[in-house]
Amino acid sequence: MAAAAQTSEIRTFIKGNATKYVKLNVGGTLFTTTIATLTKHDSMLRAMFSGRLEVLTDSEGWVLIDRCGKHFGTILSFLRDGTVPLPETKRELMELLKEAKYYLIQDLVNIIETQLKPPLKTSQELEPFCRVPLITSLKEEQALIASTAKPIIKLLCNRHNNKYSYTSNSDDNILKNVELFDKLSLRFGQRILFIKDVIGCQEICCWSFFGHSTKIAEVCCTSIVYGTDKKHTKVEFPEARIYEETLNILLYENRDSRPDAELIQATKTHPKIMDSDDDLDERLERGDRPSTTKRK
């Protein structure tokens, strides 16, 4: 019986018209397709059905391919169309990749390997560098302040609280305060909780600094000035003072109690010539205190 089975298998070369149909027996699963499909891409199948490689056929003319036929239909679909829906599970993708590599279909190999690659950004990289809560009520503010051991900086910025017209530089100064808040939150976001309030009804632009759930300092940037015929609202940008209070509030970091009296005295500023903005940035990077003037 074994000898009969052996004699029924014939080794031959297949080459013919592109429209000619051939019968394929892939691991016991039967397929029918044209030579044009099998030779469309540069692959082992092109070599097998263009007369370059010898193939094995049975007595009924089926070309015998000793591979699992599970994914061969997907292989044929890709050869026909140049694209194909890929399996959803990683296991089946790996199985298809193995078959694509066996048949030397490099374009399909590349597509599958791309699908199997992890996303360009890991979950860690997708984590925001800094989160700034946007509060909508006093209750939310109190809950945030009570929930953290970090020092807190809150910026209240609500341009619509104004009753009078703004002075010429006020809009620019509002924007500068917001930009500084963003800059500080990026720099100290791991050490300080930054909160933004855009619906507060009392002030236009005001900084608040908290340590151990207690307000330590406040920098109000607005004032009323009198013109020749009416009142105006003036918004200032006290950058040096804000930097000063930011460094002061860091004294409350990782402490179980308030800073002692000597430490508080050491951080109090005395009337000196203001540092330039560049000097302030440089000192802030080193962790030094800026030589600004008064404290609230």
pLDDT exceeds 70 at position 271: no
Please provide residue 183's backbone torsions phi and psi, each rounded to the nearest 5 degrees.
-65, -45
pLDDT digits (tens, 9 = 90+) for 198-209: 877 778 899 999
Q: Is residue 147 included in any domain, yes or no? A: yes
Q: In what order do the strands lie in the sheet with 165-166?
A: 165-166, 231-235, 222-226
Q: Is residue 236 included in any domain, yes or no? A: yes
Whether residue 103 sits in one domain with residue 168:
no
Cα(209)–Cα(199) distance, rounded to whole angstroms?
18
Band of the pLDDT at 179, cuts 50, 70, 90?
Answer: very high
Whether residue 268 sits in one domain with residue 199:
yes
Q: What is the chain's alpha carbon radius of gyration, rounded to the nearest angstrom?
A: 37
Last residue of a domain, which of 116, 137, 152?
116
Q: What total of structural domains would you count in the chain?
A: 2
State how beta strands 231-235 and 165-166 pair.
parallel
64 within 8 A of 5, measured Cβ to Cβ = no
Domain with 100 in it? 2-116
Last residue of a domain, which of 73, 92, 116?
116
Model confidence, pTM: 0.49
Q: Is residue 293 included in any domain, yes or no? A: no
| Helix, coil or strand: residue 17 | coil
Token pair recorded at residue 32? 């029918």
Size of the chain in residues: 296
Whether residue 100 sits in one domain with residue 17:
yes
Tell me the range of 22-31, 130-139, 165-174 where mean pLDDT is highest: 22-31
Whether residue 92 sits in one domain with residue 48:
yes
pLDDT at 243: 93
Whether residue 230 sits in one domain with residue 101:
no
Whether residue 36 sits in one domain with residue 174:
no
pLDDT above 90: percentage of residues in the chain: 45
- Domain of 167, CATH number, reads 3.40.30.10
pLDDT exceeds 60 at position 172: yes
